[in-house]
Amino acid sequence: MLIEKPDVPLSEHEYILRAKQEWEHTFDAVTDLIFIIDLDHTIIRVNRAMAERCGLTAQELAGRKCFDVIHGATCYPAYCSHERLVESGEPQTIEFETEQLHGTFEAFVSPIRNDAGHIIASVHVARDVTEKRRSEQLVAAQQKQLEEFNKDLESRIAEAVAELRNKDSIIMQQCRLSAMGDLVNSIAHHWRQPLNNIGLIVQSLQLAYKSNDLTVDELDAEIADTMEILQQISDTIDDFRNFFHHEEEPCSFSVNEAVARSINFVMPSLNSKGIKVVTAGQADINVVGYPNEYAQALINIIVNARDALVESHVGKPVISISISGGDGRSSVTVLDNGGGIDEEDLPRVFDPYFTTKKSGKATGISLYMSKMIIEKNMNGCLAVRNVDGGAEFRIEV
Ligand SMILES: Nc1ncnc2c1ncn2[C@@H]1O[C@H](COP(=O)(O)OP(=O)(O)O)[C@@H](O)[C@H]1O
Ligand SMILES: [Mg+2]
């Protein structure tokens, strides 16, 4: 009961008057805009909030058409909730924007019926949702912006990844080219001697023939020598071809053999520069991985040691290779006495394209390639440090 309990008993008339005042207070206390209209859209009553919003008094509003007051129109709009309510007999909810009341409103429209149950009027409770809608719109716009940003970010990441992949594949291509260049060089070195020898045999045959000194036995012997040399040449081709055979699956292989093959690969060019190779350590070290790639990584390191030794003009150039390991693990160190690597360059020698060599042939990718092979493909570790007047590379697999 809203009506305060009176101190003195009230007459029925006074009681009704109090109740009316009470109801009017309540009606006016509601901050939503409330108005009641008759079947003809004529305003019967408005609360204070509605009057204030319209800039008129409740008395001034009473008797005016709601579409005039609310929409500034001369007749009700097509979406008129009051019309719908009368037509359907059901309460209505509607949202509308109006310049007259400066905003967006959500309105609940309920029927007022007479004793016979016929609708005689409707009560409209309109809540100003301008701010709410504005912030919803703002949130939606921000959300959309965020989504677009995300989409943009995704595509930018995809682009960057593609670019990196592309760069990676370019680097890998260059690695292959560089390895191919080494291969051709090495073949040239390997063939120089036997080709010279064949040349000498052919010349001596010619001389012997011209001076009528050539016996059948001598001819047979020279031909046998030549065939042997040709066989050597043919063998080196097979060796190199096997070397560059791409390995699909990892396999168990002998580290000692891989080291020996790598040394053999670069031996002619080391010999021609007077560089000695000393190998020491344990025998029969086996690991699982890619033997050809492993040997390629090692060759890159030995070739660098050779370059450093040539560059440094050291008196007794030596490359010392040491093998140790066991239980499926191995450690191979390659040490030279070529003066080592500048301390400030040490962290960068494995970076792609890092080179300190003046020669146009230097690519700066062979150590990057070695690092990839050992660490990415074989889960091992490749490290470098300066030791005793030279650089020491350690390959752990
Ligand atoms: N044994 C070494 N002694 C001195 N410096 C080395 C040695 N190995 C590598 N480096 C340095 O690392 C750099 C990068 O080597 P690498 O990736 O093989 O490229 P590149 O041989 O084409 O320069 C070399 O330019 C050199 O400065
Ligand atoms: Mg190199």
Q: Domain range holding 96?
A: 31-128
**Is residue 225, in this structure, part of any structural domain at all?**
no
Instruction: Determine the pLDDT at residue 5.
Output: 60
> For residue 271, is pLDDT > 70?
yes
**Is residue 44, in this structure, part of any structural domain at all?**
yes
Q: Convert the pLDDT of each residue in 28-50 to its tens digit.
A: 999 999 999 999 999 999 999 99
Domains contained in the chain, number: 2
User: Atom 9 (ligand 1): residue with closest C-alpha?
Assistant: 304
Please report the atom of ligand 1 found closest to the CA of residue 365. Answer: 17
Please report the atom of ligand 1 found closest to the CA of residue 345. Answer: 27
| Domain containing residue 263: CATH number | 3.30.565.10
**Is residue 191, in this structure, part of any structural domain at all?**
no
**Is residue 49, in this structure, part of any structural domain at all?**
yes
| Alpha carbons 367 and 352: distance in angstroms, whole number | 8
**Is residue 350, in this structure, part of any structural domain at all?**
yes
| Alpha carbons 328 and 322: distance in angstroms, whole number | 17
Mutate to test the pocket of ligand 1, among 273, 367, 373, 388 (most ligand atoms within 8 A of CB): 367
Ligand nearest to the CA of 384: 1
Reference 301, options 250, 268, 265; nearest CA is 265
> For residue 219, is pLDDT > 80?
yes
Instruction: Determine the pLDDT at residue 174.
Output: 78
Domain boundary (63, 95, 128) is at 128
| Domain containing residue 91: CATH number | 3.30.450.20
Statement: the pTM of the whole predicted model exceeds 0.95: no
Instruction: Determine the pLDDT at residue 367.
Output: 92
Average pLDDT over residues 228-250: 78
- Pair 251, 109 in one domain: no
Compute the distance from residue 370 Cα to the ligand 2 centre, in Å.
10
Average pLDDT over residues 154-171: 86
Q: Is 356 in the pocket of ligand 1 (CB under 6 A)?
A: yes
Domain boundary (78, 106, 128) is at 128
Average pLDDT over residues 237-248: 71
Average pLDDT over residues 258-285: 92
Contact (Cβ atoms closer than 8 angstroms) between residue 140 and residue 147: no
Compute the distance from residue 129 Cα to the ligand 1 centre, in Å.
72
Average pLDDT over residues 46-70: 95
Number of residues that this document lists for the chain:
397
Q: Convert the pLDDT of each residue in 323-350 to its tens digit.
A: 999 889 999 999 999 999 999 999 999 9
pLDDT band at 6 (very low <50, low <70, confident <90, very high): low
pLDDT band at 108 (very low <50, low <70, confident <90, very high): very high
pLDDT band at 245 (very low <50, low <70, confident <90, very high): low
**Is residue 35, in this structure, part of any structural domain at all?**
yes
Domain boundary (128, 159, 187) is at 128
Compute the distance from residue 71 Cα to the ligand 2 centre, in Å.
83
User: Atom 5 (ligand 1): residue with closest C-alpha?
Assistant: 341
**Is residue 62, in this structure, part of any structural domain at all?**
yes
**Is residue 318, in this structure, part of any structural domain at all?**
yes
Average pLDDT, the chain: 90
